[in-house]
Amino acid sequence: MISQQQPTTALIDPARQRYQHERIRHSNRVARALAMHAGLGWFYRQRLFQVYQHLINPGLTCA
């Protein structure tokens, strides 16, 4: 996740600060969403294995 570090200067453009805050919030939401769905790839690969094991002859190699 992106940390929300504040600049040390007291003169900060409010629009820039809002934009930066929103970008950080968006990036954190995307990161959380990806983390929640990271485990779903295993189920997809497992299903592909189940489907293709019936379509490919045992012992067949790629040459």
pLDDT for residue 22: 94
- Say if 7 falls within a structural domain: no
On whether the CB atoms of residues 27 and 3 are closer than 8 A, the answer is: no
pLDDT for residue 1: 56
- Say if 1 falls within a structural domain: no
- Say if 6 falls within a structural domain: no
Least Cα distance to 5 among 17, 30, 15, 32 occurs for 17
Encoded tokens for 5: 């570090």
Number of domains in the chain: 1
- What is the DSSP-derived secondary structure letter of residue 55? T
pLDDT for residue 20: 92
CA 27 – CA 42 distance, rounded (Å) = 25
pLDDT for residue 24: 92
pLDDT for residue 5: 61
pLDDT, averaged per 10 consecutive residues of the chain (63 residues), comes to 58 88 92 78 84 78 65
pLDDT for residue 19: 94
